[in-house]
A and B are shown apart, each in its own frame.
Chain A
Amino acid sequence: MTVHATHESHLVTTGLTQAAGRYFGAPVTIENLTRESGGASRQTWSFDALTADKRHALILRRDPPTATGDRSGSLPRAIEFRVLRAAFEAGVRAPEVLFELTAEDGLGDAYVMRRIGGTAIARKLLRDAPYAEARGKIASQLGDIAARIHAVDTAKLPPLAHRQAADHIAALRRQLDALGTAQPVFELALSWLDRRKPAPVARPVLVHGDYRTGNYLADQTGVTAILDWEGAHLGDPVEDLGWLCVKSWRFGSVDKPAGGFGTREELWGAYQGAGGCKVDPARAHWWEVFGTVRWGIICHTQAWKHLSGALKSMEMAAIGRRAVETEVDLLQLLKSGG
């Protein structure tokens, strides 16, 4: 570990000791602190908080005060905290958030939630032996959970952007323009989407915004928690179902559209069974095409973070060359009608 990283661990331990002490109302010792993942700006740390009588397995999500430029379109942590709380209280399988940190804790925008078992690594869930039984359940569990997310009482949510199809298309075109290289396949697909925009939903719902394999935890029993809520907004519930079926989120299990685990019909059936609306296949297809364009353009914007010098990273640069995967998929999708 570098000197800088050690210093950062010390800083995080100090801030957590103070904040957790306040929350538990008693002295707390922080143990097993490890940085999980994420970039320099949006960090996830795993740790245990020991009170006199109990060990609490927890997660810290934080945006360091110095971080810049890597949170475009993402919710501030304070809003994400309130979305997670509302979802958890409505019975959604999501981590239970416990407390927010304050400026005095010195860690930037941050909150703490309970740690939940399971892995988010798609490759393991799709191929490893321990998950054989779970693989048969995940598609319908995801349909069930999506219905519960979309049923969260919007009056209990913090203010969130309402994004309709037209807003999404405009946002992607702005991102393409910012890249500065012409992208005929994405332009074709965006015009296709523009001509077929689904009618705005009568009642916009809580949309997770990044509902896909890789963004939930699962164990041998299947899905344990939905993660990564920073793209949450109000909109069309079918947006989440379409995004989940984008081919890139099947991680090689291409014949199983529902996140690599099942058919679209299984997903929609479970969704409706748990109180979700009846899914119109044409609307779902539209959102799947949209999601495919969205991921392709995200690939370019990720590479651009490296190219612009904002965030030097070989991995980010390499993602730029993945955009063409979505161009292949788009040409197939546009041929298959809709």
Chain B
Amino acid sequence: MAQDRPTASEFLNAIIDFLREEATPALDKADPRLGFQMRVAVNSLAILEREERLGTAADARELDRLRELLGRDGTLAELNRELARQLRAGERDETDGALMAHLELTIADKIAIANPKWR
């Protein structure tokens, strides 16, 4: 049975807003070291909120591309292990257009969750 609202994403955003706007300024006054750690915590929660919203679809896209690229079936972990093996063995390299397209899309999806402002 589905949970009631707020959704996970809505709930996380409510927590993030509270921590950022109310808890962090108070902590900064009391103990700047804890204030810094709270910023790390808030930033981490924001990653989890994006992961909740975008992660499932990103994983599915990555799995589809890996199946196509490697021509076989398997879990995300298995297929990435096989791709990593091929890359270390030199069986594929950066001249492989399909490989590079896959990696570009995969990393674009990952950074959109981990740190969309990174450039």
Residues of A within 8 A of B (CB): 173, 181-185, 187-188, 190-192, 195, 254, 314-315, 317-318, 321-322, 324-325, 327-328, 331, 334
Q: Jot down 15 A-B pairs with beta carbons below 8 A, ordered by A.
A: A181-B77, A183-B84, A187-B87, A187-B88, A190-B88, A191-B88, A191-B93, A314-B37, A317-B44, A321-B47, A322-B115, A325-B111, A325-B118, A328-B107, A328-B111
Report B-chain residues with C-beta under 8 Å of the C-beta of A334: 94
Task: Tell me whether B114 and A322 are in contact (CB under 8 A).
Answer: yes
Q: Interface size for chain B: under 10, 10 to 19, 20 to 34, or 35 or more residues?
A: 20 to 34
Bound CA–CA A64/B114 (angstroms): 35
Interface centre among A192, A321, A322 (most CB of B within 10 A): A321
Task: Tell me whether B40 and A315 are in contact (CB under 8 A).
Answer: yes
Report B-chain residues with C-beta under 8 Å of the C-beta of A318: 40, 43-44
Report A-chain residues with C-beta under 8 Å of the C-beta of B90: 191, 195
Q: Taking the complex as formed, is B5 at the interface, i.e. its CB lies under 8 A from any CB of chain A?
A: no
Report B-chain residues with C-beta under 8 Å of the C-beta of A173: 88
> Main SS of chain A's interface residues?
helix
Task: Tell me whether A188 and B47 are in contact (CB under 8 A).
Answer: no
Task: Tell me whether B107 and A324 are in contact (CB under 8 A).
Answer: yes
Q: Taking the complex as formed, is B53 at the interface, i.e. its CB lies under 8 A from any CB of chain A?
A: no
Q: Taking the complex as formed, is B57 at the interface, i.e. its CB lies under 8 A from any CB of chain A?
A: no
Task: Tell me whether A182 and B94 are in contact (CB under 8 A).
Answer: no
CB contact under 8 A between A324 and B111, given known A191-B87, A315-B40, A334-B94 = yes
Report A-chain residues with C-beta under 8 Å of the C-beta of B87: 184, 187-188, 191
Q: Top 10 nearest A-B pairs by Cβ distance?
A: A182-B84, A187-B87, A182-B80, A182-B81, A324-B110, A187-B84, A184-B83, A321-B114, A324-B114, A188-B87
Interface centre among B41, B84, B111 (most CB of A within 10 A): B84
CB contact under 8 A between A324 and B115, given known A184-B83, A331-B107 = yes
Given A314-B41, A325-B118, 4 more A-B residue pairs with CB atoms under 8 Å apart are A190-B88, A195-B90, A315-B40, A318-B44
Bound CA–CA A183/B80 (angstroms): 7
Cβ of A192 to closest chain B Cβ, rounded Å: 6
Q: Taking the complex as formed, is B119 at the interface, i.e. its CB lies under 8 A from any CB of chain A?
A: yes
Q: Taking the complex as formed, is B104 at the interface, i.e. its CB lies under 8 A from any CB of chain A?
A: yes
Bound CA–CA A334/B37 (angstroms): 35
Residues of B within 8 A of A (CB): 37, 40-41, 43-44, 47, 77, 80-81, 83-85, 87-88, 90, 92-94, 99-100, 103-104, 107, 110-111, 114-115, 118-119
Task: Tell me whether A314 and B40 are in contact (CB under 8 A).
Answer: yes
Cβ of A181 to closest chain B Cβ, rounded Å: 8
Bound CA–CA A190/B47 (angstroms): 28
What residue in chain A is nearest B96 (Cβ atoms)?
A188
What residue in chain A is nearest B84 (Cβ atoms)?
A182
Bound CA–CA A322/B113 (angstroms): 11
Task: Tell me whether B118 and A328 are in contact (CB under 8 A).
Answer: yes
Report A-chain residues with C-beta under 8 Å of the C-beta of B94: 188, 192, 334
Report A-chain residues with C-beta under 8 Å of the C-beta of B77: 181-182
Bound CA–CA A122/B74 (angstroms): 44
Interface centre among B37, B94, B104 (most CB of A within 10 A): B94
Report B-chain residues with C-beta under 8 Å of the C-beta of A190: 88
Cβ of B47 to closest chain A Cβ, rounded Å: 6
Task: Tell me whether A188 and B81 are in contact (CB under 8 A).
Answer: no
Bound CA–CA A185/B47 (angstroms): 21
Cβ of A123 to closest chain B Cβ, rounded Å: 11
Bound CA–CA A325/B81 (angstroms): 21
Bound CA–CA A110/B50 (angstroms): 44
Task: Tell me whether B44 and A184 are in contact (CB under 8 A).
Answer: no
